[in-house]
Amino acid sequence: MNPKRKQRLILILLGTSGVAVAVLLVLFALGQNMNFFYSPSDIAQGDAPLDRDIRAGGMVKDGSVQRDSDSLRVSFVVTDFVSEVQVNYEGILPDLFREGDGVVAIGRLMENGQVEASEVLAKHDETYMPPEVTDALERAESASIY
Partner 1 sequence: MLPEYGHFALILALLLATGLSTLPLYGVLSGHGGFQRSATALTWGMTFFLATAFTILVVCFLVDDFSVRIVVENSNSQLPWFYKFSATWGNHEGSMLMWVLMLGGWATAVSLFSGSLSQELKSAVLAVMGMISLAFLLFLLVTSNPFDRLLPIPPGDGGDLNPLLQDFGLIVHPPTLYMGYVGFSVAFAFAIAALITGRFDAGWSRWARPWTNMAWAFLTLGIALGSWWAYYELGWGGWWFWDPVENASFMPWLIGTALIHSQAVSEKRNLFKSWTLLLAILAFSFSLLGTFLVRSGVLTSVHAFATDPERGLFILVILLVTIGSSLLLYALRAGQIRLAGEYRLVSRESFLLFNNIILVVIAFMVLLGTLFPLVFDAFNWRKLSVGAPYFNAMFNFFMVFLLSLLGVGQVLRWKRHPLSDLRPLFKVGIPVALVMGLVLPPLITASFNWRVWLGLALVFWLLAGLVRMLLDRTRNASQPWRALRRAGGSFWGMWLAHLGVAVSVVGVVLVSNYDLARDFRMAPGDTVSMGDYQFRFDGMNIVDGPNYQSDQGVITVLRNDQPIAELHPEKRFYTVQRNTMTEAGIDAGLFRDLYASLAEPLDDEHQTWAVRLQVKPFVRWIWLGSILMAAGGVLALFDRRYRKASGGRS
Q: Which residues bind partner 1 (CB under 8 A)?
A: 4, 7, 10-11, 15, 18-19, 22, 25-26, 29-30, 32-37, 53, 55, 67, 70-72, 90-93, 95-96, 106, 124-126, 130-132, 135
Choose between 53 and 99: whose C-beta lies nearer to partner 1: 53
| Shortest distance in whole angstroms from residue 40 CB to partner 1 | 14
| Shortest distance in whole angstroms from residue 37 CB to partner 1 | 4
Using CA of residue 95, residue 115, residue 48, residue 77, what is the dihedral sign? negative
Choose between 19 and 50: whose C-beta lies nearer to partner 1: 19
Q: Exposure pattern of 122-143 as b/e (b: 16+ CB <10 Å)?
A: bbeeeeeebebbeebbeebeee
Choose between 113 and 131: whose C-beta lies nearer to partner 1: 131
| Gap between the Cα atoms of 87 and 108, Å rounded | 10
| Shortest distance in whole angstroms from residue 134 CB to partner 1 | 10
| Shortest distance in whole angstroms from residue 67 CB to partner 1 | 7
| Gap between the Cα atoms of 40 and 56, Å rounded | 7
| Gap between the Cα atoms of 126 and 51, Å rounded | 35
Phi and psi at residue 130, to the nearest 5°: -55, 130
| Shortest distance in whole angstroms from residue 29 CB to partner 1 | 5
| Gap between the Cα atoms of 70 and 16, Å rounded | 57
Choose between 96 and 143: whose C-beta lies nearer to partner 1: 96
Choose between 91 and 100: whose C-beta lies nearer to partner 1: 91
